[in-house]
Structure 1
Amino acid sequence: MPKFDIKNIKLRKVTVDELSDKMLLVNLYATQALTFIIGLAWAFLQGQNILETFRFQSLSSFVYWGAGLAALVVAFDIGISRWIPDEAKDDGGVNERIFRNRPLWHIALICAVVSVCEELLFRGAIQHAIGPYWTSIIFAAIHVRYLRHWIPTGMVFAISYGLGWLMSYTGTIWAPILTHFLVDLTMGIIIRYRREEE
């Protein structure tokens, strides 16, 4: 039996265009599952009660705040995209590949999964430990596809900080989850139907 040698492992950078649609989805859902598991473990190690974290509070209050912040983010994103060149907001084609050929129900599912998993980790666990500012720096850093350009990196940081403030203000994780879902869903639908028109 040949001996395993770690030196023989070769890593190479793979672009989003080299991934099949199936592998892109597997990667997306696997990373979200990992994000959720890390968020659960981190919250558990902090002594948090996950059921309490996801408990609904005043329904109307968090819905208004969450939807309001989402509308502000989408309006700002659409507004700023009119004045900055496409290459300044390039994410390497990831969002385009994820959303452009998906049916509406699948776009909504992806956005729901991403918003719950990422908000559990970032607002539910990391923010609980280090606060919204440092959480937002980490949140911006993990969105590596934006780091090549300062405008999207700054926007991701600002959105994350807004989500952190929203959770602190409303006292429920459902407000940032709702905002995250609505922003991603709106942008996913725009990508999907803009490409269909072209």
Structure 2
Amino acid sequence: MKKFDIRKIKLRTTRLEDIDDRMLLINLYATQAITLVIGFIWLLFQGRNPFNLFKPGDSMHFIYWGVGLAAAVIVLDLLAARIVPDEASDDGGVNDRIFRHRPIWHIAVLSLVVAICEETLFRGAVQYHIGPYWTSIIFATIHVRYLKHWIPTGLVFCISYALGWIYMKTGTLLAPILAHFIIDLVMGLVIRFRREE
């Protein structure tokens, strides 16, 4: 039997065009699963019960906060799309590849998975230690496809900070999850049904 040798592993850069649709989805779901696992482990090391973060609290005000933030972000994003040139907000075609030919139900599932996984790690675990500002810097940095352009990077930072703020305001992770879900769902549907120029 052959021994595994870590020195023989070779890394190479891959272009988006080289990845087929199936592999793109596998990568997306795998990274979200890793994000969720890291979030849960981090919360357990903090001595906190991850499931308590998902309790709605005494009232359903988190719905107003989540829907309100999502509506504000969507309006700002659509306005920015009209003002900002396409090349200044280019993400390398990743979002287009993810959402363009996806069925509506799958866009909803993707949006929900991303919202739960990312909010669990960033708002639930990371923000607890370093606050919303530094969490938002990390959040914007991991969205590496936007880093080539300052406008989308700034938008991701501001959205992340707002998600952290409504989490602190409501005391439940359901508020930022709801906002994140609605934002991703609506923007995914906009990409899905956008007419070609």
Task: Note whether the superposition's TM-score is higher than 0.5.
Answer: yes
More off after superposition, 1-10 vs 115-124: 1-10
The offset of 1:60, in angstroms, is 3.1
How many residue pairs end up in the alignment?
A: 197
Shift of 1:170: 0.8
Q: Give distance in 1, aligned partners of 2:49 and 2:42.
A: 11
In the TM superposition, residue 58 of structure 1 has moved relative to its aligned partner by 4.3
Which residue in 2 is equivalent to 1:19? 19
Give the C-alpha shift of residue 96 in structure 1: 0.3
Deviation at 1:17, TM superposition (A): 1.6
Matching residue of 1:29? 29
The equivalent of 2:126 in structure 1 is: 126
Aligned to 1:76, the other structure's residue is in SS state helix
Aligned to 1:113: 113
User: Structure 1 pair 34/2, CA: closer, same or farther in 2 (3 Å)?
Assistant: closer
1:152 matched to which residue of 2? 152
Which amino acid in the other structure matches residue 182 of structure 1? I
Q: How does 1:132-147 map to 2 (within 5 A)?
A: 132-147=132-147
Alignment identity in percent? 61
The equivalent of 1:90 in structure 2 is 90
Normalised by the length of structure 2, the TM-score is 0.95
CA deviation vs aligned residue, 1:68-102 (integer Å, no higher than 9, x gap): 10010010010011111101001111100000000
Q: TM-score, normalised by structure 1?
A: 0.95
Which residue identity does 1:151 align to in structure 2? I
Tell me the distance in 2 between the aligned counterparts of 1:122 and 1:172. 13
| RMSD, aligned CA | 1.5
Deviation at 1:5, TM superposition (A): 5.3
SS of 1:82's partner is helix
Counterpart of 1:148 in structure 2: which amino acid?
K
Map residues 47-86 of structure 1 onto 2, 5 A cutoff: 47-86=47-86
Residue 9 of structure 1, CA deviation: 3.4
Unaligned runs of 5+ in 1: none
1:5/1:43 Cα in 2 relative to 1: closer, same or farther (>3 Å)? Answer: closer
Tell me the amino acid that sits aligned with residue 122 of structure 1: F
- Whole-Å separation in 1 of the counterparts to 2:11 and 2:190: 35
CA distance in 1, matches of 2:66, 2:103: 25
The answer to whether the Cα contact below 8 Å between 2:56 and 2:62 also exists between their aligned partners in 1 is no
Cα distance in 1 for partners of 2:179, 2:51 equals: 20
Query: CA 1:185–1:173 in 2, change beyond 3 Å: closer, same or farther?
Result: same
- Tell me the distance in 2 between the aligned counterparts of 1:2 and 1:108: 44
Secondary structure of the residue aligned to 2:10 is coil
